[in-house]
Amino acid sequence: MDAERWWPPFVEVVALVWIVLFVVDVAVGFDLLAVSESLATAIRGVLQWLLVVFLLDVALLYRWSEQGPRAFVRSNWFLILTVVPWFRPLRLFRIGRSIRALRLLTGSRRVGSFLNKLRRKCHSLWHRLRE
């Protein structure tokens, strides 16, 4: 099925968007970032709608797994836990495996150079946000 190929990368992008919006929402809540009330309300609304994507993700993975409910929960408990928004950042640990694979590629000048530029850019953006 075609959706089985494009759905997981889509959900990973949605997860990253959720994490960014969650951080912005927390920053607004602690008065670290000033945004209009309408934008803050919109961010909270988007966060709630993205939860629907995560619930749909678990439902689709269950359907595609061809396992019974107990076997699915037993083998995917961590995935199910990360549907709860506050545990969503834990899903980044799964991305950690991909980062280890990227480390093998850092011997390549292009990939190593790209990763260093990306790291510097993220560091620069972080300092701008803190000011």
pLDDT tens figures, 13-62: 888 888 889 889 888 888 888 999 999 999 999 988 888 888 888 888 88
Residue where the block lists tokens 């602690």: 30
Chain mean pLDDT for the chain: 77
pLDDT of residue 3: 79
- CB burial readout 3-35, b (16+ within 10 A) else e: eeeebeeebeeebeebeebbebbeebeeeeeee
47: tokens are: 């966060």
What is the DSSP secondary structure assignment for residue 31, as one 8-state letter? T
pLDDT in tens, 85-94: 556 555 555 5
Domain boundaries, the chain: 3-95
| Structure-derived torsion over alpha carbons of residues 69, 72, 74, 77, reported in degrees to the nearest 10 | -110
The pLDDT, as a whole number, for residue 45 is 92
Contacts for 14 with CB less than 8 Å, ≥ 6 apart: 50, 53, 54
5 pLDDT tier (thresholds 50, 70, 90): confident
- Angle ∠(103,82,33) on CA atoms, nearest 5: 80
Residues composing the chain: 131
- List, in sequence order, the alpha helices (H) in 30-131: 37-65, 69-75, 77-81, 92-105, 109-130
Q: What percent of the chain has pLDDT over 70?
A: 68
Q: Which two tokens stand for residue 121?
A: 């850019």
